[in-house]
Structure 1
Amino acid sequence: MISSLESGKRNIRLLFFQTFFGNAYFDRAIFMLYLIDKGYSMLEVGLLQSLVNLAMFVCEIPGGMFADRYGRKNSLIIGRTLIILHFLGMIFSTNFTMFAITFILLGIGVTFISGSEEALLYDSAKHAKEEALYSRYAGRYMAIITLVLSLAMVIGGLISKFTWNWVFVASILFQLAAMLVSFFLKEISFEENSQKPHRLLFIIKDSIRLLKVNVHVRSLVIGISLYIGMFSIYYLFAQQLFKEIGYSTYIISVIFAVVSLLSALVSDKAHLLEKRYLPQGVMLTSVLLSGIIFLTVFFESKILSLTAFVLLNLIYFVFSPISNSLVNFEIPSQQRATLLSTISFLSSAVMFVLAPIMGYTSELFGTHKFISLAGIGSMVLVWLCLVHFFKNYFSKTADSFEPN
């Protein structure tokens, strides 16, 4: 019989495999170009992307609650199923309405996965008595995501030169593999982590109370959400940004792949920066540098655009695992998936608002200017939220949340 310690370590290994297969999105760097190739305008593409974000906005917190109530493993399996349906829709959709349904399925599927993977990874590390190593595991988790994305994007770009359908077929096959691995995960029950009854009403009540009582946690959640939302919009519309300045579809996929590979290397070593400069030093510096780099995006230059894309990705993959570790440390286990989903919920709200605006303004003024101004404004707000968090974090540690 596998011991509790070994089952936690086994879970971590399986989660890494599941993450590898589940993030092979072969269309990630080129799906907007696929839709444009189908005859849709940038405004319509922006609206489709906003439907993904709307679905995430509506379903993110319920998805996290589902994971907290019925298990992260079940949540992952449902999420993979919905994403497979999305890729089937990308192949067979013939009009805007069908594509709209397809993108809504993607948004709902992502909500069942986001928060669940990180929460199960953290609880598995805790189960294995390796909670102190979570920053390293989070960095490795992000590195695996970016590594497989880099490979998938290059392959997807190559496949698209011959046929678009096989780009989505390849994605389906990898999602099926991720689902298969998910069946072997061990659910970390809350009876093992807490004496609290695991009821949906309790999860909702304590999650809301946590955000009300812990002002510094609320500032952290809002700041991270805004940072993720802005970066995600930039990452998605970078496809069109590069297209506007003359790069081909295949070259764009290669750019995304190489940057993802570099990001994987950086993410895996992010915990070393955290150890040397502490979370507050790394996170605040990351936001400051991001704001400066967004300023350079305003100028429609191939060199500046490419340099900005590389640097913003590297900074994001330093910021992300460190902020993820900090949030997990601040959140009790029973609300972990719910409140991680709250971050995704708020990020989706940012993307929902910005995506159609981005699509519309891209056709009028070009993509660069709006991304630059939105990026600078967002980084100012993120900076203020994080400064508020760290100020309260160090001066009011006695106010940490204690469940009834």
Structure 2
Amino acid sequence: MKTMTELMESNIKKNYVFSFLMNFRLSNGLWMIYMASRGMSLTQIGFLEGIFHVTSLMMEVPTGSVADLFGRKLSRSIGRCLSLVSILVLIGATSFFHFTIFMVLAALSYNLESGSGEALVYDSLKYLKAENNFISVLGRQEAIFQVSSVVALLIGGFLGTYSYHYAFWASSGIIAFSVVYSLSFTEPPILESVGRNSKTFRGFLKQIVDSFSLIARDRKVAFLIFFVQTILAFSACIFFYIQNYWKGLGRTEFQIGIYLAAGSFLAGLVAMKVQRLSHLLKEKKVLIILPLISVASMWGVALCSNKLPFFMVVAMIEAMLFVAGNDYINKLIPSRSRATIISFASMMYSLVMIIFFPIFGRIADTISFGVAFVSLAVMASCLYVLSMYLLKKIG
């Protein structure tokens, strides 16, 4: 019989494997191209992505509270089950309505994992009195995440040149295995009490209200959520739409998979260096320098004919900012509200995507990808200037 300490240590190791499985999505570099092949315009694809994020916006905090009140392990397992259902819907999808169902299910799956997985890892470390190692653990996890993405994008792109469904069916098998694997985690003890009646509906609402109140009181937490998630959302816009841009230039699915995989490979390498960078530059300089490089690279994507090098830099900075930003936020929030607040951060990401993803698709559809990329770079520049002003105010 393993001790609780051994089980918590096992959680950290198992999470590395789970991270690989979770991001081994052979559909990741294909679904936008697949939708286009099924007759969806870029505007419609933009609205479908918007539906994903509207669902996320509505459900992020409630699903985060589910993880806080009923268990990170349970939330994660349900999320994997919904991911499996969503890929099966995608396989049979032939219309905008079918793709809408796919997006809603995929969003709920993402919601249930987004706060619970990170909270499970952090609270396992907290039980071991090793939470200062979180940035290192998260860096390794992000590296594994990106390595998984590299392999998935290459295999998915290769299979996609023959049939999109080959990639989707293979992906469904991997997700099914991850469902079983998710059951092997041990729920970490929460050292801070959440209250005897917390699992009632009133306790559920109180959990959400208390988490919102904490964010409202702590300007630094609010700033980190707003700034980091918005930069990540702009980076995601480039990741998804550049696939159709390259497709329009005549690139094959396998070639596009290689481009995306190269970005993920470099992102995985730099993710492991974030802890060293954070010690070297300190938090404030990291929040100034990394986003500045990201915004400059977005201008490179917008203005240069060879967009690949700048896309790779955007991917690398996204990974580094994800690790650093999440570490800074987790140090400021209590365990009893951790999954809820992390889910609120994901909700901010969804809000940005709801606003800008369809706009970007509409501009690319009606004018050109060039104008759309420039528009995104302009918005990212304005965000950076505003955020530097806010950062100076909060100190």
What does residue 127 of structure 2 align with?
A: 127
What does residue 101 of structure 2 align with?
A: 101
- 1:212 matches 2:212: no
How far has the Cα of 1:202 moved from its partner?
A: 3.7
Alpha-carbon separation, structure 1, partners of 2:213 and 2:365: 44
How far has the Cα of 1:300 moved from its partner?
A: 5.2
Alpha-carbon separation, structure 1, partners of 2:290 and 2:248: 28
- 1:283 matches 2:287: yes
Question: Runs of 5+ in structure 1 lacking a partner?
Answer: 395-404
Tell which deviates more after alignment, 238-247 or 348-357: 238-247
Identity fraction in percent: 26
Query: What is the TM-score when the length of structure 1 is the normalising length?
Result: 0.92
How far has the Cα of 1:376 moved from its partner?
A: 3.5
Given candidates 221, 224, 231, the residue that maps to 2:225 is: 221
What does 1:50-65 correspond to in 2, within 5 Å?
50-65=50-65
What does residue 193 of structure 2 align with?
A: 195
How far has the Cα of 1:291 moved from its partner?
A: 1.6
Amino acid at match of 1:104: V
Partner of 1:298, secondary structure, is: helix
Alpha-carbon separation, structure 2, partners of 1:202 and 1:159: 48
Question: Runs of 5+ in structure 2 lacking a partner?
Answer: none
Alpha-carbon separation, structure 2, partners of 1:90 and 1:67: 27
Native 8 Å contact 1:17 1:178 kept in 2: no
Shift of the 383–186 alpha-carbon distance from structure 1 to 2, 3 Å rule, reads farther
What does 1:363-374 correspond to in 2, within 5 Å?
363-374=365-376
Native 8 Å contact 1:220 1:385 kept in 2: no
Aligned residues: 389
What does residue 324 of structure 2 align with?
A: 322
Which whole-Å deviations, capped at 9, do the CAs of 1:336-386 have from their partners, x for residues lacking one? Answer: 111111111011111111122122111122223223322342343245336
What does residue 14 of structure 2 align with?
A: 14
Alpha-carbon separation, structure 2, partners of 1:8 and 1:383: 42
How far has the Cα of 1:36 moved from its partner?
A: 1.3
What does 1:3-402 correspond to in 2, within 5 Å?
3-190=3-190, 193-197=191-195, 198=198, 199-299=203-303, 301=305, 303=306, 305-382=307-384, 384-385=386-387, 388-389=390-391, 392=394
How far has the Cα of 1:389 moved from its partner?
A: 4.3
How far has the Cα of 1:16 moved from its partner?
A: 1.3
How far has the Cα of 1:161 moved from its partner?
A: 1.6
Native 8 Å contact 1:284 1:383 kept in 2: no
Alpha-carbon separation, structure 2, partners of 1:226 and 1:275: 24
Alpha-carbon separation, structure 1, partners of 2:111 and 2:194: 25
Alpha-carbon separation, structure 2, partners of 1:333 and 1:4: 18
Native 8 Å contact 2:228 2:321 kept in 1: no
Q: What stretches of structure 1 move > 4 A for 4+ residues in a row?
A: none
Native 8 Å contact 1:288 1:383 kept in 2: no
Tell which deviates more after alignment, 78-87 or 234-243: 234-243
User: What is the root-mean-square deviation of aligned Cα atoms in Å?
Assistant: 1.7
Alpha-carbon separation, structure 2, partners of 1:262 and 1:177: 27
